[in-house]
């Protein structure tokens, strides 16, 4: 079973800095412009470590990774960052609004023993790219730490851990709080009570852990573990590099939202409707209509628009054309789009991604892309099913919301792990 244990986390010293000034979104959604804003917020903003700027004249001995390590170590030396005295877990919750509905995501940070994906109790659900893994590995080598967490899920309808977390957040003031650029409020509490810690650990016994966000970071942690084991042939398995920082949320709490990511393609064959209409019922809708709203909740329905064409279209899949695809993937909209439309019908390989519907339409209208396809969000139960079948969805099949902020907790490999097996 997955082993989740408490640890002595590194936190910002809230007597010296404001959480609002020092946390940042995940590295992979920070634009260069927003990175500049974060740099200007505070000389201690975590972006300088987790997603620093490349500078002219950078070389092997002076680069964004060496600067990341310098910032991390100097902030510790200056008391900007502090290490918690006793091993513990860290409650993290986010109050957010989505489509006019108030929701709360709550879970906890712990360190989890690394396992080969799909061979134990930790499961991926998406394919990954190599470039982000190289970046994350270089950062891990330089800092000897997990600077940002992996966002993971488990499912336990008994919700014993959830009750502990809910009670603690209701009775105690948070250690740190920050509002993100969408207006969501993120809060952190420290759990050091041994009974509470055991309740949280027991809640995960025998449960599968599904990686929501952080596939690249998890695979990087495995690669770093292999490197460290080769350098330390007498390793015992309890060294800190055998564990990775995770945020763990219970699916049964219902606080999670998955948003769709729409697809853009550069070029498209002439008269694509001739080919698409063989597999889909095609309905033209006037330009300006809310194409995402029209397909919302409809089974296997896609929105489509094409550069130079004054219409939008709804494509409703007729089914029975993906018998060569694994059953766990066959009914997913992203599979129908990638395997049937992109690969079999259109022969498309160059795909771009966009969250915002209006921005997606504008990129087609302005001629930057030849066409766009709009999807409904993947369901969380689909994530469970695909992961447990040891399958992987196409990249960007899920956009878990809200995103965890980086900087609330850091896990240093310089700390000796205390066994809790």
Preceding omega of 402 cis (within 30 degrees of 0): yes
Q: Please tell me whether residue 248 adopts helix, strand or coil conformation.
A: strand
What's the predicted TM-score (pTM) here?
A: 0.91
Per-residue pLDDT, 418: 45
Per-residue pLDDT, 129: 65
Measure the CA–CA gap between 221 and 411, rounded to whole angstroms.
12
The one-digit pLDDT tens for each residue of the chain (421 residues) are 689 999 999 999 999 999 999 999 999 899 999 999 999 999 999 999 999 999 999 999 999 999 999 999 999 999 999 999 999 999 999 999 998 899 999 999 999 999 998 788 999 887 766 677 899 999 999 999 999 999 999 999 999 999 999 999 999 999 999 999 999 999 999 999 999 999 999 999 989 999 999 888 999 999 999 999 999 989 898 899 999 999 999 999 999 999 999 999 998 888 899 899 999 999 999 888 899 999 999 999 999 999 887 789 999 999 878 888 999 999 999 999 999 999 999 998 889 999 999 999 999 999 999 999 999 999 999 999 998 888 889 888 999 999 999 999 999 998 654 444 3
Q: What angle do CA 297, 301, 302 make, to 5 degrees?
A: 115
Q: 223-243, pLDDT tens digit by residue?
A: 999 999 999 989 898 899 999
Structural domains in the chain, CATH included, are 4-258+401-412 (no CATH), 261-376 (3.30.1760)
Measure the CA–CA gap between 11 and 84, rounded to whole angstroms.
7
Q: 52-65, pLDDT tens digit by residue?
A: 999 999 999 999 99
Buried b (16+ CB within 10 A) or exposed e, 294-329: bbeeeebbbbbbbbeeeebbbbbbeeebbeebeebb
Measure the CA–CA gap between 291 and 315, rounded to whole angstroms.
11
Q: Which of 67, 90, 70 is nearest to 80 (CA)?
A: 70
Per-residue pLDDT, 308: 82
> What secondary structure letter does DSSP report for 342?
I
Q: Which of 262, 218, 252, 246 is nearest to 378 (CA)?
A: 262
Per-residue pLDDT, 294: 94
DSSP per-residue codes, 383-408: HHHHHHTT--BPTTS-EEESPPPBTS
Per-residue pLDDT, 229: 95
């Amino acid at each position: 079973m997955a082993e989740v244990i408490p640890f002595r986390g590194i936190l910002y010293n809230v007597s010296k800095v404001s959480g609002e000034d020092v946390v940042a979104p995940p590295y992979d959604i920070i634009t260069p412009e927003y990175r500049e804003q974060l740099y200007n917020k505070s000389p201690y903003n975590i972006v300088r470590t987790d997603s620093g700027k490349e500078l002219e004249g950078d070389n092997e001995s002076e680069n964004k990774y060496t600067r990341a390590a310098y910032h991390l170590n100097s902030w510790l030396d200056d008391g900007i960052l502090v290490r918690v005295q006793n091993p513990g877990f860290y409650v993290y919750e986010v109050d957010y609004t989505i489509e006019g509905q108030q929701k709360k995501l709550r879970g906890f940070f712990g360190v989890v023993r690394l396992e080969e994906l799909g061979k134990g109790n930790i499961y991926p659900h998406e394919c990954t790219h190599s470039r982000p893994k190289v970046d994350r590995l270089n950062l891990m080598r330089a800092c000897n730490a997990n600077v940002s967490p992996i966002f993971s899920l488990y499912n336990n309808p008994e919700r014993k851990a959830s009750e502990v977390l809910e009670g603690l957040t209701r009775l105690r003031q948070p250690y740190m709080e920050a509002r993100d650029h969408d207006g969501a409020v993120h809060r952190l509490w420290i759990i050091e009570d041994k009974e509470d810690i055991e309740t949280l650990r027991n809640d995960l016994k025998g449960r599968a852990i599904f990686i929501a966000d952080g596939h690249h970071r998890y695979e990087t942690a495995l690669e770093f573990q292999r490197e460290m084991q080769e350098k330390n042939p007498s390793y015992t398995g309890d060294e800190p590099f055998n564990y990775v920082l995770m945020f763990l949320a219970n699916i049964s709490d219902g606080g999670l939202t998955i948003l769709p990511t729409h697809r853009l393609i550069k070029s498209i064959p002439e008269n694509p409707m001739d080919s698409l209409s063989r597999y889909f019922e095609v309905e033209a809708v006037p330009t300006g209509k809310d194409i995402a709203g029209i397909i919302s909740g409809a089974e296997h329905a896609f929105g489509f628009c094409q550069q130079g064409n004054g219409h939008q279209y709804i494509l409703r899949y007729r089914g029975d054309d993906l018998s060569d695809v694994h059953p766990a993937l066959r009914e997913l909209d992203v599979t129908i789009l990638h395997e049937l439309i992109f690969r079999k019908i259109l022969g498309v390989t160059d795909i771009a991604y966009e969250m915002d519907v209006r921005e997606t339409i504008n990129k087609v209208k302005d001629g930057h892309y030849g066409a766009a396809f709009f999807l409904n969000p993947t369901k969380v139960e689909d994530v469970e099913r695909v992961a447990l079948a040891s399958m992987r969805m196409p990249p960007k099949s899920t956009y878990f919301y809200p995103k965890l902020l980086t900087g609330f907790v850091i896990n240093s490999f310089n700390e000796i792990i205390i066994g809790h097996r």
